[in-house]
Amino acid sequence: MSGSGAQPPPASPGPGSSPPGPGGQQQSEPPPSMLSVDLPALVSQFARSFALVFPVYVLGYLGLSFSWVLLALLCLFWMQRHRGGKSSRLGRALAFLHDEERAVRLTVSTGDLPAWVHFPDTERAEWLNKTVKHMWPFICQFIEKLFRETIEPAVRGANSRLSTFSFTKIDLGHQPLRINGVKVYTENVDKRQIILDLQISFVGNCEIDLEIKRYFCRAGVKSIQIHGTMRVILEPLLGDMPLVGALSLFFLRKPLLEINWTGLTNLLDIPGLNGLSDTIILDIISNYLVLPNRITVPLVSEVQIAQLRFPIPKGVLRIHFIEAQDLEGKDTYLKGIVKGKSDPYGIIRVGNQIFQSKVIKENLNPKWNEVYEALVYEHPGQELEIELFDEDPDKDDFLGSLMIDLTEVEKERHLDEWFTLDEVSKGRLHLKLEWLTLMPSAENLDQVLKSVKADKDQANDGLSAALLILYLDSARNLPSIYEGNFGCGYLKERRASGLVFCENTTSLYRALFHNPLDYNPDALKKSAVQKALKSGKKINSNPNPLVLLTVGHKAQESKIRYKTNEPVWEENFTFFVHNPRRQDLEVEVKDEQHQCSLGNFKLPLNQLLASEDLTMHQRFHLNNSGPNSTINMKIALRILSLEKQERSPDYQHSAQVKRPSVSKDARKGSFKPQVSNSPAANRAPVSMAADPDKKTDAAEKSHPSNPSPQGPTNLSRSSSGLLASNLSYSPSHLSVKEPTPSIASDISLPIATQELRQRLRQLENGTTLGQSPLGQIQLTIRHSSQRNKLMVVVHTCRNLIAFSEEGSDPYVRMYLLPDKRRSGRRKTSVAKKTLNPVFDQAFDFSVSLPEVQRRTLDVAVKNSGGFLSKDKGLLGKVLIPLASEELSKSCTQWYDLTEDGTRPNVTS
C-alpha cells in the first residue's frame, strides 16, 4: 500500500452516459438542441384543436342556435355507443370461436345454436374447418393479391379523380372462415349434380385501409362479421377426370353483415347512415352472389359455361295472400288497461324476393285478397316465409310467422288452406299457393291466357301468362362518342361514319340557322356532317355502354362497362309477361356518361312463339347505330302452366310447415321491417274482388271458399343484374312504410309557389311568355277494375324552366288528394341536368272506381338539389280532378304546368 490514501473506485457509467473511448477517456455527447421540434406531432395536435374549435366558430359566424351543439353531441354519443356495441358483439363472436363447445353448453341461447344442433341432416364437418384454418394464410395472400392487382387498378381507372387510390394495408386477421354445418341433398336432385349447403360464418378482426393521396383521404374497415347459407352446386358430373365440369357458388338469401369502419368512413356510423351503409354493401353482394346471381367456375374446357350462366327457374310460385283470423290486438289505450285492435300487414319472402301487403286499419280479421308471383330457382332448401306485423308509428309489433317448404308445394301443385301462426298464442292465415311449371312449348297458351283473362284485356299489367328469360352476352362495333355543334345522329351519314354525336342544341341553332324554327334535321347532308366532324370536340372515343331492357311498363338496366366499344356483360334478366302475343321486348344500348343512344331494336314476343323451344340465340343488328353494330343475346320464353295432380279421393296432403329459426326473444330487438329495393323483390300485388255469389261464412266453415280473382294483376320486374334502374315500376306497397303525414310538404307549398311566381316574373322581364311558360308533363291515367287500383304512368316532361345555369334536376311527386300522408306519396327517380326529362315510370294507388271519382291527382315537378342545397324548389304543378277523366280507358295526355296547379290545359 502506498502512503497516499486509497483512491476511490471509478464511478460506473450510468445508463445515459457514453462508453469510454479507446484511451480510457469518456466521450461526452453534445447536449440536445433546444430548437428541435417533433413536427408531425405538432401538426396533428394543431389539426385536432382546429377540428374542435372551428365548428364553434362557424356556429357563431352563422348565428345558429345552441341546439346545434347539443345535436352534434347527441350524434357523437350515439356513435360511440353504437361502435361500442359493435366491438362487444365482435368480442363475443371471437370468444365463441375459441371454445365453441363450451359456449354452446353454457351461454348460447337456443335460437343462436349452430345448424348442426337443430337439424339432424346437417353435419358439423369440423375436419373442413381444420383444413381451412391450415390454408388461411395462403387464402389471405390470394385475397391481398386480388385487391392490389385487380380491384385497385379498376378503381383507379373508373374515374380520373381516383387516380391516386391505393390500399395501404390488407390484413384479414388470424381468425379463418368457419363452416358451422354442411348439408348434402340426396332427394329431388338431378343425378348429374351434387348440391351442398354450407353454413358460412366469418368473424374477422381484419384491417383493410385505403388512401386517396390527392385528397388526403384515409378510410378503412377494422372488423367484419358475415353469416349466411352458401349453396355449392357441382355439375355436370362427368365420366372423366376431374369428374365435375363446373362449380357454382351463391347465397340462398342475403347474408347477415356487420362492418366496423375506421378513418373517414366513421361517418357511416352516424344516425341514419349506419344501416344504409350495410344495406348498400349487401345490395352489391346480392348483385353477384345472391340467387339468382351466382359465380360459376369451369373445371374443364368442354363444359358450355353459357348454359350454366343461363339458369332456368325451377318454377314460379303464385301466392294468393287472402285473409287472416283471430289475430292478437296490439294497440292498447290508457296504458294497456283497454285493449284495442291491430293494423295488420304481411311480409312475404321467397329467397331474395320480398313483398309487402297493404295495411288493413283496425281489424283483427283482415282480408287482403292480393296475389304475388315469385321465381323459384332452387326449391330444395328454400321456404316460403311469411310474417305478420301490426303497423305502429315507431316499431311494428309482431303478430305471427309461418314457414312452408317449397318442395312440398311443388309436389302438391295447388294448396288452399288455413295455417296456424307460429310464435304467437292465436291467429290463423288463409293462403292459396299455386306451383306454375315452365313449359317450353306454346300448345296450351290459349288455355293459360284464358285463365289469367289476358285474351280479353288489352292492358299489360295482369297475372302472368309467361316468363321471359334473357341472357345478355356482349355487343360488338358500337359507335364512338363525339361532342360538337351537332344534334344526336338522325342521318345515315352520321351512323355510317361510326360515330354518335352528343347533342348541343343551342350552339347548333347559332351555327346553322338564324331562326331556330327553320331547324330541319333531314336537311343536314353529308357536308354538314363533315363540318360537324371538324368542329366537334372529341370527348371520349370509347363509350360507357349499358343496356336498357323494356317489356311493357317494366324495365331493367344492365351494369355499365367503361370505355369500350365491345362490352361484355354476361348478365341474366327475367320479365313476367301478361300476353306474349301482344307485347314486345325493347332493347336500347346507351352511353352512361352522355346519355346518348348507341343503338336499339324491338323484338315482338310472338316471334319467340314460332321459334324452336321458344328460344332464340343470335346476334341482333342494332338500329340507329354503326353499320356493323350488333348485340349478342339468348332469349327464352316459358309458358306458365298450372298442372293439377290426379289424386285419389282419400288422399290427404301434408304441406311441411317449418318452425322459424329466429327466436321470439331475438325478434323483440329487431327494428321495423323494411322491404328491400333489390330488383328481385319488385312485384306488385293484385287485389282480388270476391265473387258475391260465392260468399261463405267463415265462422260456419273451417275452410271458407277462396275468393277468385276477377281479373289480372300487375306483377313487376325481377332482375338478376340490376344495380340502378332509371326506368322502374314503383308499386305503392313496396315503398318504405311512412304512415305519418308529410307535414313539411304542406308547410313549404306556399313558399315554393311564391318562389316560382317570382322566378316567372324574372323570366318574363318585359316579354310575353308562351301558353305553357313552365312546360308540360305527359301522363297516362287509367283505373284497373280487376286490380281495384288507379294506374298512373309518368312518361316525360318538356320545356321545363332552368333552375340554375346547368339546367334542372327534375323529378315528379304525386298525391291522391285529400290523402297527403307520406305513405300516399309517389316519386319518380331524378333526371340530371335536363329540361326535357324522360321517366316512363308507373305507379298505382289502391282505390275503388266510385271513390276515385271524388279524388284529385296532385302532380308536382320539383328540382332535386343535393344535401343542404339551396337549389331545391318547385318547377310546376298540375291538379287533375279525376271525376272529369275517362278512367276506364287508358288515355295519354299532355298537361300544362302552372305555379299553383290550377287551369290544367290538356293537349292530346
pLDDT at site 60: 76
- Assess contact for 826 and 814: CB atoms under 8 A: yes
* Mean per-residue pLDDT of the chain: 73
Q: Side by side, which strands form the sheet with 838-846?
A: 838-846, 789-798, 776-784, 891-896, 906-907
Return the residue matching grid coordinates 387498378. Answer: 153
CA angle centred on 361, ends 356 and 367, rounded to 5° = 65
Return the residue matching grid coordinates 368442354. Answer: 302
Question: Residue 320 and residue 415: Cα distance in Å, rounded?
Answer: 10
- Asked if residue 25 has pLDDT above 70, the reply is no
pLDDT at site 238: 82
- Asked if residue 320 has pLDDT above 70, the reply is yes
Amino acid at 879: L
Buried b (16+ CB within 10 A) or exposed e, 47-57: eeeeeeeeeee
Name which residue leads in pLDDT, 855 or 4: 855
pLDDT at site 281: 72
| 856 φ, ψ (degrees, to nearest 5) | -130, 130
- Asked if residue 12 has pLDDT above 60, the reply is no
457-461, 488-492, 803-807, 868-872, range with the lowest pLDDT:
488-492
- Asked if residue 295 has pLDDT above 70, the reply is yes
What secondary structure does DSSP assign to 379-448, as a single string?
-TT-EEEEEEEE--SSSPEEEEEEEEEHHHHHHHSEEEEEEEPBSSSS-EEEEEEEEEEEESS-TTHHHH
**Cβ neighbours of 557 (radius 10 Å):** 25
pLDDT at site 604: 92
What secondary structure does DSSP assign to 121-182, as a single string?
TSB--HHHHHHHHHHHHHHHHHHHHHIIIIIHHHHHHH-GGGTTEEEEEEE--SPPPEEEEE
Question: Residue 82 and residue 274: Cα distance in Å, rounded?
Answer: 9
H or E element, residue 572: strand 568-577
pLDDT at site 121: 64
309-323, 574-588, 695-709, range with the lowest pLDDT:
695-709
150-159, 162-171, 353-362, 810-819, range with the lowest pLDDT:
150-159
- Our CA dihedral for 336, 338, 343, 348, rounded to 10 degrees, sits at 50
- In this structure, which topology does domain 743-907 adopt according to CATH? Immunoglobulin-like (2.60.40)
pLDDT band at 345 (very low <50, low <70, confident <90, very high): very high
21-30, 485-494, 687-696, 765-774, range with the lowest pLDDT:
687-696
pLDDT band at 275 (very low <50, low <70, confident <90, very high): low
pLDDT at site 744: 35
pLDDT at site 5: 45
- Asked if residue 268 has pLDDT above 80, the reply is no
- Assess contact for 79 and 633: CB atoms under 8 A: no
CA angle centred on 208, ends 205 and 212, rounded to 5° = 155
Buried b (16+ CB within 10 A) or exposed e, 246-282: bebebbbbbbebbbbbeeebeebbeeeebeebebeeb
pLDDT band at 904 (very low <50, low <70, confident <90, very high): low
**Cβ neighbours of 672 (radius 10 Å):** 13
Could you report the per-residue pLDDT of 813-827, keeping only the tens digit for each? 998 888 877 778 888
- Asked if residue 526 has pLDDT above 80, the reply is no
Cis peptide bond prior to 236, omega within 30° of 0: yes
Q: Side by side, which strands form the sheet with 480-483?
A: 499-502, 480-483, 537-540
Q: Taking each helix axis from N to C terminus, what angle separates 39-62 and 67-98, rounded to the nearest 10 degrees?
A: 130
pLDDT at site 318: 93
Question: Residue 562 and residue 542: Cα distance in Å, rounded?
Answer: 8
- Assess contact for 838 and 778: CB atoms under 8 A: no
pLDDT band at 460 (very low <50, low <70, confident <90, very high): low
- Assess contact for 707 and 689: CB atoms under 8 A: yes
pLDDT at site 412: 85
pLDDT at site 749: 46
pLDDT at site 657: 55
Q: Which residues contact 520 (CB under 8 A, 6 or more apart)?
A: none
Average pLDDT over residues 361-387: 87
Could you report the per-residue pLDDT of 235-257, keeping only the tens digit for each? 888 888 888 888 888 888 888 88
Dump strand ranges (E) for 642-688. Answer: 657-658, 686-687
pLDDT band at 563 (very low <50, low <70, confident <90, very high): confident
Q: What is the 3-state secondary structure (H, E, C) of 352-375?
A: CEEEECCCCCCCCCCEEEEEEEEE
- Assess contact for 326 and 341: CB atoms under 8 A: no
- Assess contact for 847 and 816: CB atoms under 8 A: yes
pLDDT at site 254: 81
Name which residue leads in pLDDT, 444 or 737: 444
| 378 φ, ψ (degrees, to nearest 5) | -135, 90
Could you report the per-residue pLDDT of 51-63, keeping only the tens digit for each? 777 877 777 777 7
Amino acid at 284: I
- Assess contact for 885 and 891: CB atoms under 8 A: yes
Name which residue leads in pLDDT, 162 or 622: 622
pLDDT at site 483: 58
- Asked if residue 729 has pLDDT above 50, the reply is no
Q: What is the 3-state secondary structure (H, E, C) of 815-847?
A: EEECECEHHHCEECCCCCCCCCCEEEEEEEEEC
Average pLDDT over residues 14-30: 46
Question: Residue 903 and residue 38: Cα distance in Å, rounded?
Answer: 72
Could you report the per-residue pLDDT of 377-400, keeping only the tens digit for each? 877 777 899 999 998 887 888 999
- Asked if residue 692 has pLDDT above 80, the reply is no
Question: Residue 457 and residue 309: Cα distance in Å, rounded?
Answer: 35
- Asked if residue 497 has pLDDT above 80, the reply is no
295-299, 339-343, 558-562, 784-788, range with the lowest pLDDT:
784-788
Q: Which residues contact 413 (CB under 8 A, 6 or more apart)?
A: 434, 435, 642, 643, 644, 645
Could you report the per-residue pLDDT of 410-452, keeping only the tens digit for each? 888 888 999 989 888 889 999 999 999 999 888 888 888 888 8
Report how far apart, in Å, the C-alpha atoms of 116 and of each of 109, 198, 340 are.
15, 11, 42
Q: 315-443+656-690+702-717 with 469-641: one CATH topology?
A: yes
pLDDT at site 869: 56
| 478 φ, ψ (degrees, to nearest 5) | -70, 150
Any idea where the domains of the chain sit in the sequence?
A: 79-307, 315-443+656-690+702-717, 469-641, 743-907
pLDDT band at 679 (very low <50, low <70, confident <90, very high): very low
Dump strand ranges (E) for 448-536. Answer: 466-476, 480-483, 499-502
525-529, 637-641, 668-672, 744-748, range with the lowest pLDDT:
744-748
- Asked if residue 73 has pLDDT above 60, the reply is yes
26-30, 351-355, 391-395, 573-577, range with the lowest pLDDT:
26-30
Name which residue leads in pLDDT, 526 or 385: 385
- Assess contact for 875 and 772: CB atoms under 8 A: no
pTM comes to 0.57
Largest CA-CA distance found in the chain, in angstroms, rounded: 138
pLDDT at site 260: 78
Percentage of the chain beyond pLDDT 90 is 15
Percentage of the chain beyond pLDDT 70 is 64
- Asked if residue 217 has pLDDT above 70, the reply is yes
Q: Which three cell numbers stand for residue 307?
A: 348454359
Q: Which residues contact 101 (CB under 8 A, 6 or more apart)?
A: none
- Asked if residue 768 has pLDDT above 80, the reply is no
Q: Which residues contact 317 (CB under 8 A, 6 or more apart)?
A: 350, 373, 374, 375, 376, 384, 406, 409, 433, 434, 435, 436
CATH of 315-443+656-690+702-717, one of 3.40.50.450, 1.10.3720.10, 2.60.40.150, 3.40.30.10: 2.60.40.150
CATH of 469-641, one of 3.40.190.10, 2.60.40.150, 3.30.70.1170, 3.40.1520.20: 2.60.40.150
pLDDT at site 432: 92
pLDDT band at 621 (very low <50, low <70, confident <90, very high): very high
**630-641 and 338-339 beta bridge pairing:** unpaired
Q: Which three cell numbers stand for residue 522?
A: 333531314
Ranked by mean pLDDT, which of 151-160, 260-269, 403-412 comes out on top?
Answer: 403-412
Amino acid at 62: L
- Asked if residue 670 has pLDDT above 50, the reply is no
| 367 φ, ψ (degrees, to nearest 5) | -125, 115
